[in-house]
Amino acid sequence: MDSPTSFKKEWVLTKEALDNFLARLDVDRDRAGQKYEGVRLKLLRYFQWCGAVAPDMEADETINRVARKIEEGENVYNLNAYIYGVARLVNAESLKLRTRNQQIVEEVHDIEAPATEDDTDTSRRRGCFDRCLQCLPERSREIVIGYYQFDKGEKIGHRKQLAAKLGMTLNALRIAAHRIRVNLESCVKECLGHA
């Protein structure tokens, strides 16, 4: 997996770019170094507060981008405001990348391994589920089977039809289906514990 912040263009901070950045912080080299440390510390705190995975890398990326813009001749009138504007941009990009990576991880975890024929655990669960389903009153069985029967676009229309057929509102159907499902899950767990 890439680093937490994989930014578009790879640019390396040069000595000249750093010198220009420090000169913008203060004409005195020692005070500029102190201000640099202060800016970096504030950036670290900002990125930590934002929940960054690697706040130090994002702070460095922010400083690098600002130094690059200064070296390229960008007119920066308020350096602190500019730095924090760049920090917000870096954070937004990082958040977008983290969200995308998290979605990929979740999709990978959602992929189920194909069940083998001798998978006794799956067959035990299925057997317990079938027994618990048969123990439900007919109306409850109709609700839970009908409610969870279809996928995506089909399920909305089907649930509306089911609610109308049963003389219920859609919200009442949702609540009933949820309660039945909770009871079914409890029954299946109990069955598996005794099996």
What are the pLDDT digits (tens) for 124-135? 888 888 788 777
Highest mean pLDDT among 41-45, 114-118, 145-149: 41-45
Percent of the residues in the chain that have a pLDDT greater than 90, as a whole number? 17
| CB burial string 134-166: b at 16+ within 10 A, e below | eebeeebeebbebbeeeeeeeeeeebeebbeee
Residue 4 in this model has a pLDDT that exceeds 60: no
**Each residue of 67-123: pLDDT tens digit?**
999 988 888 889 989 999 999 999 888 888 777 666 655 555 554 444 454 467 777
- Per the rule left: phi > 0, alpha: psi between -120 and 50, beta: everything else, 18 is alpha
In this prediction, residues 154-176 reach a mean pLDDT of 84
Write down the pLDDT at residue 5: 44
Percent of the residues in the chain that have a pLDDT greater than 70, as a whole number? 82
Here the tokens at position 101 are 């990576």
* Distance, C-alpha 152 to centroid of its chain: 22
Residue 15 in this model has a pLDDT that exceeds 50: yes
Position of tokens 């941009």?
89
Write down the pLDDT at residue 192: 83
Here the tokens at position 66 are 């600002």
32 Cβ contact list (under 8 Å, min separation 6): 22, 23, 25, 26
CATH 1.10.3470 matches 120-194: no
Domain parsing of the chain, residue ranges:
15-110, 120-194
Write down the pLDDT at residue 142: 83
CA distances (Å), origin 40, targets 59, 81, 184: 6, 14, 55
